[in-house]
Amino acid sequence: MSARPEILVVGSVALDSVRTPYGEAVEALGGSASYFSLSASQFAPVSMVAVVGEDFPVEHRALFESRGVDLSGLETAPGRTFRWRGEYGPELAHAHTLETQLNVFSTFHPRLQDEHRACPYVFLANIDPELQLEVLQQMRGPQLTLSDTMNYWIARKPDLVLEVLRRVDVALLNEEEARALAGESLLVRAADRLLEQGAKSVIIKKGEHGALFRTADERFITPAFPVDDIRDPTGAGDSFAGGFLGWVARCGRTGGGMVQQALACGTTMASLAIEDFSPRRLAETGSDEIARRVALLHRMVHFDLEPLF
């Protein structure tokens, strides 16, 4: 894939040390931009804007390049790469952070090259909402912008998180984040409230319960692709974002059921990410397996509506 980049991701590249009840990984490739780009690049060409330190392993760079990810925006700064250490309990629901070393990431300010500014599709990963707004200001009329966030920013900069939510086309949140940002415990109401606060559309990720998409007029849902053997849930959300935006970029439109299929692509890519540590499975899985999983999701929900009465 040496085609003109279609999708821009601005986020983190990290070295993750993760322990789950099913194993552990030490200084494995991690970070939102890593999971996203390896997921989205299954569907369309991706450019990454991020920062690593001088110690960033060459084999991780090679993994991105093997998927055609454009690394011209991956800055190498003096110092060490962002590191995260965490663990999950038996429910695999929440990561417990043991250590965060921001390192070179602490002074990261995304500077977009001309080619990046022209990308039609943008994913703003869960970085500081101030940086997300900086990126949006640099873009030249993108077709679709997708943002993520995290509880850390919702607690510290709720107004800026809401400002980003109003400026993007689709705001991606997990259940907890949606409840916290909206101040509503029922998800249906939380989604209503986020739309009232100015979001054009929201996707709420619900883990094993799938994801829902809401605008003022539309509601779509996808079940989660059923995975029996979850090894590490890290990166599921960014992999979801990659499948979602990847398919939107690939088919070039959001009408006529394409949002629903994008949701199915999102949960499919998330299912691959969580079957192993690090995002390697996202890169290594063939298109046949991805298509098989999306078709299974379609079969899980499809029926021809018969008149009831």
Residues near its own copies (CB under 8 A) are: 43, 90-92, 185-189, 192, 206, 208-210, 212, 219-223, 226-228, 230, 247, 250-251, 256-258, 260-261, 265, 287, 290-291, 294-296, 298-309
Output the smallest distance, CB 270 to its own copies, in A.
14
- Residue 147 or 222: the one with the smaller Cβ distance to its own copies is 222
Shorter beta-carbon distance to its own copies: residue 143 or 260: 260
Q: How far apart are CA 273 and CA 285, in angstroms?
A: 10
The token pair at 192 is 């209503």
What is the nearest approach in angstroms of its own copies to the Cβ of residue 259? 8
CB of 274 to its own copies, least distance (A): 11
The least CB distance from residue 3 to its own copies, in Å, is 15
The distance of closest approach from Cβ of residue 299 to its own copies in the complex, given in angstroms and rounded to an integer, is: 8
Closer CB to its own copies, residue 23 or residue 257? 257
Given the complex with its own copies, which of 157 and 189 has the nearer CB atom? Answer: 189
What burial class does residue 183 get, using C-beta atoms within 10 Å of its C-beta: 0-12 exposed, 13-18 middle, 19+ buried?
exposed
Rounded to 5 degrees, φ, ψ at 92 are: 60, 15
What is the 8-class DSSP label of residue 167?
H
| Lookup: tokens for 57 | 């392993």
CB of 256 to its own copies, least distance (A): 8
Q: Which is nearer to its own copies, 25 or 230 (CB)?
A: 230
Q: What is the DSSP string of 175-193?
A: HHHHHHHHT-SSHHHHHHH
**What are the distances in angstroms from CA 114 to CA 44, 119, 193, 278?**
19, 9, 37, 31
User: In angstroms, rounded to a whole number, what is the distance separating the alpha carbons of residues 133 and 138?
Assistant: 9
- Residue nearer to its own copies on the CB measure, 91 or 114: 91
User: Which tokens sit at 129?
Assistant: 């909402």
**Which ranges constitute the DSSP H helices of the chain?**
32-40, 58-66, 114-117, 129-138, 151-156, 158-167, 175-182, 187-196, 236-251, 258-274, 280-284, 287-301
Shortest distance, CB of residue 254 to its own copies, whole angstroms?
Answer: 12
**Of 295, 298, 273, 221, nearest in space to 39 by CA:** 273
C-beta of 117 vs 206, nearer to its own copies? 206
Three-state secondary-structure class, residue 10:
strand
Residue 67: CB minimum distance to its own copies, A? 14
Closer residue to its own copies in complex, CB, 54/208: 208
Q: Are 71 and 65 in contact (CB under 8 A)?
A: yes
